[in-house]
Amino acid sequence: MFVRYLGHSCFYVRSSKGTSVVVDPYSSYIPYSFPSIEADVVLLSHEHRDHNASYRVMGNPMVIKATTPALMENELNIPRTKEKVTFYGVPTSHDDFNGKRRGPNMVWHFYWEGVHFVHLGDLGHVLNDAQVNQISKADVLFVPIGGLSTLGPAEAGLVINQLKPNIIFPMHFKTPKLDKVYNLCQNTLDDFLIRVNKVQDQASMSMDIDQGTLPKEQTVMLLRYE
Confidence of residue 82 (pLDDT cuts 50, 70, 90): very high
Range of the domain at 25: 2-222
- Alpha-carbon span 148 to 91, nearest angstrom: 20
Q: What is the CA radius of gyration of the chain?
A: 16
Ramachandran angles phi, psi of 84, nearest 5°: -110, 130
Q: Is the dihedral of CA 6, 186, 158, 65 positive or negative?
A: negative
Confidence of residue 224 (pLDDT cuts 50, 70, 90): very high
pTM of structure: 0.97
- Alpha-carbon span 74 to 85, nearest angstrom: 8
Domain count for the chain, please give it: 1
Q: What is the pLDDT of residue 13?
A: 98
Please name the residue ranges forming H helices in the chain. Answer: 129-135, 153-163, 189-193
Tell me, what CATH number does 168's domain have? 3.60.15.10
C-alpha distances in angstroms, 176 versus 5, 6, 78, 112, 173? 18, 16, 39, 35, 10
Q: What is the pLDDT of residue 179?
A: 87
